[in-house]
Chain A
Amino acid sequence: MDEQFIFRKQFRQVLAIVIVVGIIGSLGAIFFSKPGSSRIWASILLNNQFFLGIALGSAFFLAVHRIAWSGWHTVLERIPESMTTFIPVAFLLMLLVYFGMDKIYHWSHSSGQDAILEGKKAWLNIPFFFLRLVLYFAGWIFLIRMMKKNSNLLMNSGDLKYHNRRKLYAGLFLVFYAVTVSASSWDWIMSIDAHWYSTIFGWYVFIGMFVTSLAFIILLIWFLKRIGHLVYIRTDHVHDLSTLLFAFSIFWAYLWFSQYLLIWYSHIPEETTYFLQRKENFRIIFFVNLGLNFVVPFFGLIRLKSKRQLGVAALVAAFVLIGHWIDYYQMIMPGAVGESARIGILEICMTISYAGLFIYIIFNSLASRPLVNKNDPFLEESLNYES
């Protein structure tokens, strides 16, 4: 039970090369692109949001399972726990957006002619935007750190008091996260199309975060099992993860459809412009988004057999991850970059270096502690779990 993941030197080197190549590629692409293009900033925002979303989604995964007295997930707890360590890094990278504010958010440099933007000034102004940004991150980092700290204390001492304290912080995190996930998505994404608004938006972004974190957990398990770790994660655990991925992909589609249908049906020009722009100028992306995030997981995982095969689940998870990247793309790019947006070398290289960094940080954190918490009161139950 003291199995340890070793972050080998070759691994580190490969990941470092991936990051560097990604950075060089993006720098090259910037060098050759038109000066003053907003693509670079939009791309940073997109990847930050995407990977931060995975990290936050896994914190949500942990918190909600703990507070619900779940027993099945305990053996794989370390994986989402290490995924959350990306959040402080995401904070630093998010600050980069400051230099691209005028490129991405047209409210940040409005000249006072736009009556609607003037009305929103109390919320949409640069100092308050960054104050909120700091607050969100401070809360997330603090609460997640406390959850993790108590987990470690539990592992070292076996005192159940830490388990209860960890549950308390999970509850606090859920409350804080529920509010901030909505608010942060209004700030960072919805305000790109500053005239447009949709009350469901925060929940839609949230469910995307949860789905991507599930997909990433499945992929990590698949990888770690391939290199011989986590033998005690069995078909039964995989089954439950795939079922969650399946169910919440459908739930994502439900939220997508709720937003689309209501705006389509009511036909109010201020609102329909959002979808009009995406359907006219980003037609392929618009439908690929639905295909990868709903059709693929729905048909890919509907059978019991495929839910119980890690290979199939991992394949679907990979598609879903790409799908949600595209989902963020269609949320951010039409407003931030406009019709000239495309998935080119810049976007791909940027994503590669982000992914390399994300994985590096996760593995680093995974290697720092044993792969299971041997004193978790639910560990035995999780090891013997039958679905």
Chain B
Amino acid sequence: MENINYISVSFDDEIPLLEAVGKLKESNEKILDVLTPFPVHGLDRALSMKRSRIPLIGFIFGAFGAIVGFGFQTWVFTINYPLVFGGKPFFSAPSFIPITFECTVLFAALGMVSAMLIKSKLKPDSKFIPFDENITNDKFIILISAEDVESARNRIKLTLSGINIIAIK
């Protein structure tokens, strides 16, 4: 962030924000980031964001969990330590299902959450300083990359005229 020149435009509501995003997109401004206090409905579409691949990661981890869960039980009861219980065969698939299911869910959940944290670079950080302390309260901010800050500011002011803006910096 430090080495890039940028302009920040702030709003106090999501409706002008969405409008502004649309206009900025139309005039081919490069939006670096949009910071909001809550997930704004329709913002990901306005930013033409690609859908996250977290579902796929979840599926892969889940499938892995299922194989590990089922495979381990099978290995234990057919190869490592065959055990007769209740007159059932050593390989009794129905009673392996519950644990297999639990392993699937556990792996998928932990996999997805780790993927989300890693992709978003979220980590415990006692030195963290927010961009603006009110983003988590009621402020919406668009960050736009700009080569020449002065001219870009005027240009953006013009683009966004008529929209309810709090500040352009």
Asked whether A and B interact, the reply is: yes
Q: List the interface of chain A (C-beta within 8 A of B).
A: 257, 260-261, 264-265, 267, 302-304
Given A267-B86, A267-B87: A261 and B94 within 8 A (CB)? Answer: yes
Given A265-B86, A267-B86: A257 and B97 within 8 A (CB)? Answer: yes
Q: Is the CB of A265 within 8 A of B97?
A: no
Task: Return B90 CB to nearest CB of chain A, in Å.
Answer: 15
Given A302-B59, A304-B55: A264 and B87 within 8 A (CB)? Answer: no
A-B contact pairs, 9 of them (CB 8 A): A257-B94, A257-B97, A261-B95, A264-B94, A265-B86, A265-B95, A267-B87, A302-B59, A304-B55
Q: Is the CB of A261 within 8 A of B59?
A: no
Q: Nearest chain-B residue to A266 (Cβ)?
A: B86
Q: Nearest chain-A residue to B51 (Cβ)?
A: A304
Give the size of the chain B interface in residues (CB under 8 angstroms). Answer: 9
Chain B residues within 8 Å of A265, by CB: 86, 94-95
Interface residues as binary, B35-62 with A (CB distance below 8 Å gives 1, 0 otherwise):
0000000000000000100010001000
Chain B residues within 8 Å of A261, by CB: 94-95, 97
Q: Is the CB of A260 within 8 A of B94?
A: yes
Chain A residues within 8 Å of B87, by CB: 267
A302 to B55, CA, bound (A): 10
Task: Return A181 CB to nearest CB of chain B, in Å.
Answer: 27
Q: Nearest chain-B residue to A263 (Cβ)?
A: B94
A257 to B95, CA, bound (A): 10
Q: Nearest chain-B residue to A302 (Cβ)?
A: B59
Chain A residues within 8 Å of B97, by CB: 257, 261
- Known: A257-B97, A303-B55; 13 extra A-B contacts, CB below 8 A, are A257-B94, A260-B94, A261-B94, A261-B95, A264-B94, A265-B86, A265-B95, A267-B86, A267-B87, A267-B88, A302-B59, A304-B51, A304-B55
B window 86-101: CB within 8 A of A: 86-88, 94-95, 97
Of all A-B residue pairs in the complex, the 8 with the closest CB atoms, nearest first, are A261-B94, A264-B94, A267-B86, A267-B87, A265-B95, A260-B94, A257-B97, A304-B55
